[in-house]
Amino acid sequence: MDMRPLGRTGILVSVLGLGTVKIGRNQQVKYPDGFELPDDAAVRNLLALARELGINLIDTAPAYGSSEERLGRLLPDRQDWVIVTKVGESFEHGQSSFDFSARATRASVERSLRRLGREMLDVVLVHSDGNDMHIIEHEGVLGELARLKQEGLIKAYGLSGKTCAGGLWSVEHCDVVMATCNRQDTHDLPVIAAAHRARKGVLIKKGLQSGHAGHQAGADGVEDAIRYVLSQAGVSSIIVGTINPGHLRDNAAIAERICRELAGC
SS (H, E, C) 6-24: CCCCCCEEECEEEECHHHC
Amino acid letter, residue 18 = L
Nearest CA among 83, 91, 65, 165 for reference residue 125: 83
Residue 215 pLDDT: 47
Residue 29 pLDDT: 86
pTM: predicted TM-score of the whole model, two decimal places: 0.94
DSSP state of 37: P
The length of the chain in residues reads: 265
3-state secondary structure 120-154: CEEEEEEECCCCHHHHHHHCCHHHHHHHHHHCCCE
Query: Residue 50: what are its φ and ψ, rounded to 5°?
Result: -55, -45
Residue 219 pLDDT: 56
Task: Give the chain's mean pLDDT.
Answer: 94
Tens-digit pLDDT profile for residues 75-99? 988 778 999 999 999 999 889 999 9
Instruction: Collect the ranges in the chain with pLDDT lower than 70.
Output: 210-219, 264-265
Contacts (Cβ under 8 Å, ≥6 apart) of 34: 26
CA angle 227, 20, 68 (to 5 degrees): 145
Domains in the chain, CATH or no CATH each: 3-259 (3.20.20.100)
Number of neighbouring beta carbons within 10 Å of residue 149: 18
Contacts (Cβ under 8 Å, ≥6 apart) of 248: 18, 46, 49, 50, 53, 242
Helix ranges (DSSP H) in the chain: 40-52, 67-74, 102-116, 132-138, 141-150, 164-173, 189-198, 212-230, 245-262
Residue 263 pLDDT: 73
Q: Do 100 and 72 meet the contact criterion of CB atoms below 8 Å apart? A: no
Q: Do 195 and 234 meet the contact criterion of CB atoms below 8 Å apart? A: yes
Quick one: which H or E segment has residue 95? Answer: strand 95-98
Residue 210 pLDDT: 66
Q: Burial level of 199, CB count in 10 A (0-12/13-18/19+)?
A: exposed
Nearest CA among 232, 233, 230, 211 for reference residue 222: 211
C-alpha span between 47 and 18 (Å, rounded): 9
